[in-house]
Amino acid sequence: MATERTVPPWLYKLFAGRQYPYVRRLAKFANKDVKPGEDRPEPGAEAIKAMFWEVFPRCSIKILEEVKKGMIVGFTELGTYDAGTYQELVEHPEEFLSKMYGKKKIKVNFYDGENFVCTINFKVAGWTEHEEH
Confidence of residue 46 (pLDDT cuts 50, 70, 90): very high
Q: Same domain for 18 and 43?
A: yes
Q: Same domain for 66 and 53?
A: no
Model confidence at 45: pLDDT above 70: yes
CA-based angle 19:30:38, to the nearest 5?
95
Q: Same domain for 65 and 113?
A: yes
What total of structural domains would you count in the chain? 2
| Range(s) of the domain holding residue 113 | 59-123
In this prediction, residue 133 carries a pLDDT of: 46
Q: What is the pLDDT of residues 4-16, one digit of tens each?
A: 678 999 999 999 9
Start-to-end CA distance of the chain, whole Å, equals 57
Contact between 27 and 48 (Cβ < 8 Å): yes
Entry pTM:
0.86
Contact between 110 and 10 (Cβ < 8 Å): no
Q: Same domain for 40 and 64?
A: no
Alpha carbon 65 to its chain's center: 16
Confidence of residue 49 (pLDDT cuts 50, 70, 90): very high
Average confidence (pLDDT) over 99-107: 91
Q: Is residue 131 part of a domain?
A: no
Confidence of residue 82 (pLDDT cuts 50, 70, 90): very high
Helical H segments across the chain, by residue range: 9-16, 22-30, 45-55, 87-91, 93-101
Q: Same domain for 20 and 49?
A: yes
Q: Same domain for 76 and 103?
A: yes
Q: What is the pLDDT of residues 59-74, one digit of tens each?
A: 999 999 999 888 998 9
